[in-house]
């Protein structure tokens, strides 16, 4: 009995510490702590609930992504009354881009709450954005939509959303380069291939050619990152010409 009592006390202390830290982060006291514990659980932990369903942040991430997009859309609709549908869509995409969400997750230091069987140094940058979205999903289930809107306004809109700066922000160098090449009737080619070498983590390399001439290369842990890296180098190589079109 003493052993069981010690386990319960230990868990209770851990929960109280988590609740205290979340209260500082969220500016309210969580009602259902289990929602947040789930939001910070990586699939590698391989926990199942009583029905045999996986317990991890992925479903909450899906939910939070939709709520975040909705809250940002509502803000932009009111903030920019003259914005067209295309403009509003583009601006929302910039605010909720993976790069931006990863930055948010890092600034809030959400990784400190994560339970994972993978070394945190090896999980990749996207976990920061994933956890941020899962946290939004947990807030929605625990406190409702209004609490989500307030959290998003305080932690996303006020510190990060500057309409003028976002208007000039490039969210996809690859898309920009492709669009420019098409407008200028230039032939382009993204040659992407696996390039891990002796490293344990898989890497990809990409070579970008324009009108048959290789312009830039990139290398990263995913095809998308490698392509963006190379496309960014192409952009800076042709920045003057691109800005004039």
The single residue of 58, 119, 133, 227 carrying the catalytic annotation is 133
Give the CA distances from residue 63 to residues 18, 32, 141, 149, 178, in Å, rounded to whole numbers and listed in that order: 22, 17, 9, 14, 32
Whether 65 is catalytic: yes
The active-site residue, picked from 61, 65, 227, 228, is 65
104 and 36 Cβ atoms separated by less than 8 Å: no
Q: How many whole angstroms separate alpha carbon 163 and alpha carbon 92?
A: 10
Exposed e or buried b for every residue in 121-139, given b needs 16+ CB within 10 A? eebebebbbbbbbbbbbbb
Smallest Cα–Cα separation from 173: which of 244, 99, 122? 99
For residue 172, the SS3 value is coil
Which sequence positions are flagged as catalytic?
65, 133
């Amino acid at each position: 009995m003493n052993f069981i009592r010690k386990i319960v006390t230990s868990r209770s202390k851990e929960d109280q510490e988590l609740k205290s830290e979340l209260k500082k982060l969220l500016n309210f006291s969580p009602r259902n702590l289990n929602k947040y514990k789930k939001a910070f659980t990586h699939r590698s932990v391989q926990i199942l609930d009583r029905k045999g369903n996986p317990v991890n942040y992925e479903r909450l991430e899906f939910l939070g992504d939709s709520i975040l997009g909705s809250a940002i859309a509502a803000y932009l609709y009111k903030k920019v009354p003259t914005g067209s549908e295309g403009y509003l869509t583009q601006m929302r995409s910039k605010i909720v881009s993976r790069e931006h969400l990863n930055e948010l997750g890092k600034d809030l230091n959400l990784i400190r709450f994560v339970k994972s069987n993978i070394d945190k140094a090896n999980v990749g940058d996207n976990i920061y954005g994933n956890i941020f979205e899962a946290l939004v999903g947990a807030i929605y289930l625990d406190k409702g939509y209004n609490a989500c809107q307030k959290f998003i306004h305080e932690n996303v809109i006020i510190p990060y959303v500057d309409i003028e700066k976002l208007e000039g922000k490039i969210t996809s160098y690859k898309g920009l380069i492709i669009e420019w090449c098409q407008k200028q009737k230039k032939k382009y080619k993204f040659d992407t291939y696996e390039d891990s070498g002796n490293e344990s983590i898989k890497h990809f390399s990409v070579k970008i050619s324009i009108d048959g001439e290789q312009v830039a290369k990139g290398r990263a842990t995913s095809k998308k990152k490698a392509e963006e890296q190379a496309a960014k180098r192409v952009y800076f190589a042709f920045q003057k010409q691109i800005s004039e079109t």
